[in-house]
Amino acid sequence: MFIYLCKKIAIPGNVRLRCISWNKDQGFIACGGEDGLLKVLKLETQTDEAKIKGLAAPSNLSVNQTLEGHSGSVQVVTWNEQYQKLTTSDQNGLIIVWMLYKGAWYEEMINNRNKSVVRSMSWNADGKKICIVYEDGAVIVGSVDGNRIWGKDLKGTHLCHVAWSSDSKVLLFGMSNGEIHIYDNQGNFIVKMKLSCLVNVTGAFSIAGIHWYHGTEGYIEPDCPCLAVCYDNGRCQIMRDENDHNPVLIDTGMNVVCIQWNHCGSVLAVAGSLKTTSQDKDVNIVQFYTPFGEHLRTLKVPGKQISALSWEGSGLKIALAVDSYIYFANIRPDYKWGYCSNTVVYAYTRPDRPEYCVVFWDTKNNEKYVKYVKSLISITTYGDFCVLATKADENQPQEEHETESIGATYVLVLCNSIGTPLDPKYIDIGPLFVTMTKTHVIAASKEAFYVWQYRVAKKLTAMEFNQVARTRKEGRERIYHVDDTPSGSAGGHLDYSRAIEFQGTRDPICAITASDKMLLVGRESGTLQRYSLPSVGMVQKFTLNCHAYQLSLNCNSSRVAVIDLSGVLTFFDLDTRVVTSTGEQMVGEQLKLERKDVWDMKWAKDNPDLFAMMEKTRMYVFRNLDPEEPIQTSGYICNFEDLEIKSVLLDEILKNPEHPNKDYIINFEIRSLRDSRALIEKVGIEESSQFIEDNPHPRLWRLLAEAALQKLDLQTAEQAFVRCRDYQGIKFVKRLGNLQSESMKQAEVAAYFSRFEEAERMYLDMDRRDLAIGLRIKLGDWFRVLQLLKTGSGDSDDALLEQAHNAIGDYFADRQKWLNAVQYYVQGRNQERLAECYYMLEDYQGLENLANSLPENNKLLPDIAYMFVRVGMCEQAVSAFLKCNRPKDAVDTCVHLNQWDKAVELAKNHNMKEIGSLLARYASHLLEKNKIFDAIELYRKANYFFEAAKLMFKIADEESKKRTKPLRVKKLYVLSALLIEQCHEQIQNAQKGKVKGKSSEAASALAGLLEEDVLSSTNRFADNAWRGAEAYHFFILAQRQLYKGSVQAALKTALHLRDYEDIIPAVEIYSLLALCACANRAFDICSKAFVKLESLETLRPEQRQQYEDLALEIFTRHSPKSNKKSDLDDMLDSIDGKLPVCVATGDPILEQRFWMCSVCKHCMKPKEASSRSFCPLCHSTI
């Protein structure tokens, strides 16, 4: 930052001032002094025009009001910005609250305790409460409307200062003995503050000021120190909060009177006086510090004694009360900003976010890109690129390729002009100074500097750029200590330990700059070290007469401009050889030019003798060290080339950083350009060309060429274009020379100067509508092209009309206005883009109609088909694929969309043989995911009944083993058997087809394969598919009959189960049989069942014992014989397979006539069949 005094206001009657306060919102300045003096002043606000011109804020007063009411010396003035109130107090303890009414201040409330004097008053952050402290220890907290909230008398203490925390929960009271006590907002004591800055201090001291920044504009860093406490002996501590045990400590070395933070908590001003050895009297000074204790600037102030200071709301001015005067100083802040390829990059803090908000504002298109960056240190720009230096985020893991520098604490991020990060580099040295050239980024701490040769490939995308940049090669990054003298021949290493071994240097780095050829490093002693680039070899050391703050090389690296800490600009010629008085030959010479109060400078990019500099509120342009007349502005210089200076009013932009205004970018022409323009306008081309000949510059020749073109002086124009090396201009002049018509030439010139409306009108006047259309086509203004085509007489060119419709369609499509685009594509007959628009609009009917309207094998059909596939519309996709003769894609689509029946049908219709493998693949995929039922359904739909049946039998067997409900298992076996029946039917049909000779080759092949598969199968169900169903059918039937009480029928049915031991567990069968036999008193069968049960190997010993015990109990009572054996003869015959069995009753069928099911081929007695509608086994309709 740079600061200079700019205005002085005298108080009438030479009344000494005691206090001053600047209202941050409305800009009023209140100053209090002796004899009851209280004034409210206001500086004139800038007009919009003055803002845009970049003029410094005016210093005339628009308000100058004396407020009457105090009799004693006014000691405290404080503003309440939220409620527009001013609170003042004098030495008699009288407090007055003033209010604003119609632009003037009036007394609103008054309070006088008459016991003690008010030492300090403070409003809280939201302006709703005020805390007033009296010298005798009384504390009052009141509300904004004048009500007392609470009061307290702190006995035995003398208060002198008070401050609120930002959340209004904590109050700090400063005592006259220098202690600071922490209280809560209800007046309860919490703890004494630890004062680290007073260690080893002897003698009396008192508090000079406590100021707690409330974060209203955000913080420059997360967890940033914001509570400043300063003592009159010059000791100061800056704390993160009231309990910070590790504060930032500063010894200002002066007698401090007053301290205050600026509007955003980035600068602390400390005002007081310094004893000088040469002069008897004290010198008034204001020191400026960062929240981390770094000293920024010192401002010397005339007068006997400074008594108070206050910042303006924007932080661009500071008011100082000295004796009976108010001094104003202007501040030029060190904004974090840069300029690359028409983009202004600037950073600011916001109260709602802990990071810096970095804005990349494209001034050409007025577009901005915002990026949030934690702990931003600086922004450096060059060409099209920008480097953001930040502290590394401890929580975020570093990238893999940065493993060499694990634990790196800083990051340099290379970005393009829209803020896209291209390449981050992690480094271990603090980048206090960063400079950039076309190929290198150089970052320096106080003792070492790091050189990174970055790769710039304009043609690469950001992603490819990253991949290129990641391959770190030896020598791309190097680090050097400032006391080393590298030769430049060695490769150099990225060795942080080497640079950090030297824990410091006696002569720290204070500034750096670089060009393509060299790197200059300035040191605090005045030494300037010159290194060659890219090899980084020490070339020479020069000695400057100052402590450099900013260095800048001209475009051919022959001179360096040096701005020192006090704002003095000097120049050093690096190449001049001079002979000293001792006869030695030296390289480098200090030039005579010296300017004071300079805060910015920029060399021209295209002329080593031209530069622009900012001195207070004026910009000077120098040519060969001679100044032109100054321009009034406060802008920061972005760019200086082509005799034009681009300047940006950062002060204005940062008042509303979210909405930068293009008016705040100003272009200044330097005198030679202004003079040439004036000469051309007033004198003529010939005389002007002589002047430009004497002061040649490509920009001036271009100016002459353009003026000559306007007047159709083609010879001069051609010569001028040759001089400024504009090949396109030369070609244009040649083309003009070949045109016969004068008006045609004028129209072409108008188009060349972008006066397109005028050129079009000229073409139309000449009845050359074709040229007007050609001009609009070049400009891409297709709406106008369409207009011109339609207004023309006769038939317009159909091809051109179509082209115009399609171009307008593209215009709408680019903006995603698909509905508008459709209308134009229809007229332009652009079926390809039309399909895309329908797809984006989700108008699938329109897409289907388009597909139907296209001829067969049209190249667009596959694309439309794939569009349908993407949205799952199988039928439409298939018809589109078939229309363009791609049946395989149609089948793939059906498979993809699970339309297997359609897939099989298509495969059959188009004689495709790979359908089997396709089904198998999909089925195995389903089985992997354990979706067996889906696989069965798939095979069933595809008529692969045998595969489906195999899977179904597998499920039925598993369910049977799980002891699931018998009815469910029966249903599964029935379904399996039905699938086998369908399979047999399919084989028979295929064979019939063979016989008749009508079958297709594919169908017969399929049938043959199936038959072979079924016949060769070792599956036990292939021969008798219904065994499982029969087993469970009889098992359920026997139990039903038993429960009904039909014990004989139950026994007959249970006897059938003996054949099904492979399906139903034997223990179940014989337990049921024993039960039925016992109930039927057929003890012989019961005995056999028990014998079988006791011999089962699957039983546990205790279960076998239970059966034996039960058998003993039954057969001791009943002999194992049955009298009803004759009744069971038929039954036993049917079991031997002689007689069919009725599936409804389990009885053998003795009659000649009986009913047989057409599906499962099982029989039923006619009597039973007549009373039923469904087959009891397979449940098919009778």
Spatial distance between the Cα atoms of 1175 and 1182, rounded to a whole number of angstroms? 6
Q: How many residues in total does the chain contain?
A: 1182
As given in the structure block, the two tokens for residue 414 are 């290379």
- For the ranges 45-59, 797-811, 890-904, the one whose mean pLDDT is highest: 797-811
pLDDT at position 725, please?
87
Q: How far apart are CA 826 and CA 828, in angstroms?
A: 5
Token pair listed for 595 = 């300017």
Residue-averaged pLDDT of the chain: 83
What average pLDDT does the segment 442-459 reach? 83
How many other CB atoms sit within 10 Å of the CB of residue 14? 11
Angle, alpha carbons 180-184-189 (nearest 5°): 60
pLDDT bracket for residue 893 (50, 70, 90): confident
β-bridge mates for residue 561, sequence order: 552, 571
**Residue pair 692/685 in contact by the 8 Å Cβ criterion:** no
The torsion angles phi and psi of 222, rounded to 5 degrees, stand at -60, 140
Nearest to 1078 by CA among 1054, 1059, 1096, 1100: 1054
pLDDT at 469 over 50: no
Summarised one tens digit per residue, pLDDT across range 126-168 is 999 999 999 988 999 999 988 999 999 988 888 999 999 999 9
State residue 7 phi and psi, 5-degree precision: -160, 155
pLDDT band at 1010 (very low <50, low <70, confident <90, very high): low
Taking alpha carbons only, the member of 635, 667, 663, 662 closest to residue 648 is 635
Chain-centroid distance, C-alpha 808: 33
The DSSP H or E segment spanning 88 is strand 85-90
**Do residues 1049 and 980 make contact, with C-beta atoms less than 8 angstroms apart?**
no
Pairing label, strands 618-623, 227-231 = unpaired
What does the pLDDT look like over 370-414, one tens digit per residue?
999 998 999 999 989 999 999 987 665 544 444 344 456 899 999
Query: Which residues are within 8 A (CB) of 1130 and not within 5 positions of it... i.e. 6 or more apart?
Result: 1139, 1147, 1148, 1150
DSSP code for 458: T
Euclidean distance between CA atoms 234 and 271, whole angstroms? 10
Strand partners, 343: 340, 362
* Residue 885: C-alpha distances to residues 498, 862, 901, 903 (Å): 72, 10, 20, 16
E strand or H helix that includes residue 43: strand 38-43
**Residue 736's pLDDT is what?**
85
User: Which DSSP string do the residues of 754-809 spell out, in sequence order?
Assistant: T-HHHHHHHHHHTT-HHHHHHHHHHHT-HHHHHHHHHHSSSPPPHHHHHHHHHHHH
Task: Quickly state the pLDDT bin for 583 (edges 50, 70, 90).
Answer: low
What is the spatial distance between Cα 432 and Cα 1092, in angstroms, rounded to a whole number? Answer: 98
pLDDT one-digit tens code per residue, 10-38: 998 889 999 999 998 888 999 999 989 99
The answer to whether residues 74 and 37 touch, using CB atoms and an 8 Å cutoff, is yes
Q: What is the dihedral of CA 284, 288, 293, 295, to 10 degrees?
A: -90
Q: Please write the tens of the pLDDT for every residue from 659-703.
A: 999 999 999 988 888 888 888 888 878 778 888 887 788 888 888
Q: Which of 898, 904, 846, 900 is nearest to 876 (CA)?
A: 846
Please determine, for residue 353, whether its predicted confidence score (pLDDT) is greater than 60.
yes
Per-residue pLDDT at 128: 92
pLDDT band of 918, cuts 50, 70, 90: low
Interatomic CA distance for residues 643 and 645, integer angstroms: 7
Using alpha carbons, list the distances in angstroms from residue 823 to 476, 809, 827, 1110: 56, 8, 7, 92
Least confident of 20-29, 429-438, 500-509, 865-874: 500-509
Angle at the Cα of 425 from the Cα atoms of 421 and 430, rounded to 5 degrees: 115
Examine residue 627 and say whether the peptide bond preceding it is cis (omega within 30 degrees of 0): no
Q: What is the rounded distance in angstroms from the CA atom of residue 410 to the CA atom of residue 504?
A: 18
Residue 468 — pLDDT band, cuts 50, 70, 90? very low
pLDDT at residue number 997:
55
Predicted pLDDT at 403? 36
CB distance 309 to 576 below 8 Å: no
When pLDDT is cut at 50, 70 and 90, the band that residue 85 belongs to is very high
If we measure between CA atoms, which residue out of 69, 89, 110, 101 comes closest to residue 21?
89
Residues 938 and 923: beta-carbon distance below 8 Å = yes
Is a pLDDT exceeding 70 seen at residue 464?
no
pLDDT at 181: 93
Which tokens is 938 given? 């798939």
Please name the amino acid found at residue 33: G
Tokens coding 584? 């030695």
Q: Where does residue 299 fall: left (phi above 0), alpha (psi -120 to 50 degrees), or beta otherwise? A: beta
pLDDT of 640 over the 60 cut: yes
**Residue 584: what pLDDT?**
66
Over range 606-635, report the average pLDDT.
Answer: 90
Q: Residue 967 corresponds to which amino acid?
A: L
CB atoms within 10 A of CB 102: 5
- Long-range CB contacts (within 8 A, 24+) of 802-810: 802/827, 802/828, 802/829, 802/830, 803/828, 804/828, 805/830, 806/830, 806/833, 807/780, 807/782, 808/782, 808/783, 809/833, 809/837
The reported pLDDT for the residue numbered 1137 is 55
DSSP 159: E
Burial of 905 (0-12, 13-18, 19+ CB in 10 A): middle
317 beta partners: 330
With beta carbons less than 8 A apart as the criterion, state whether 37 and 53 touch.
no
- Whether 346 has a pLDDT exceeding 60, the answer reads yes
Over residues 838-862, the pLDDT tens digits come to 989 899 999 899 899 989 888 889 9
Collapse the DSSP code of 36 into the 3-class scheme (helix H, G, I; strand E, B; otherwise coil) and give the result. Answer: coil
Closest CA to 746 of 726, 725, 768: 768
Give the span between the Cα atoms of 933 and 953, in whole angstroms. Answer: 12
Residue type, 576: T
Question: Could you tell me how many helices (H) and strands (E) the chain has, helices first?
Answer: 33, 58
- pLDDT band, residue 473 (cuts 50/70/90): very low
Give the pLDDT band of residue 1101 (cuts 50, 70, 90). Answer: confident
Q: How confident is the model at residue 735 (pLDDT cuts 50, 70, 90)?
A: confident
CA distance 631 to 350: 34
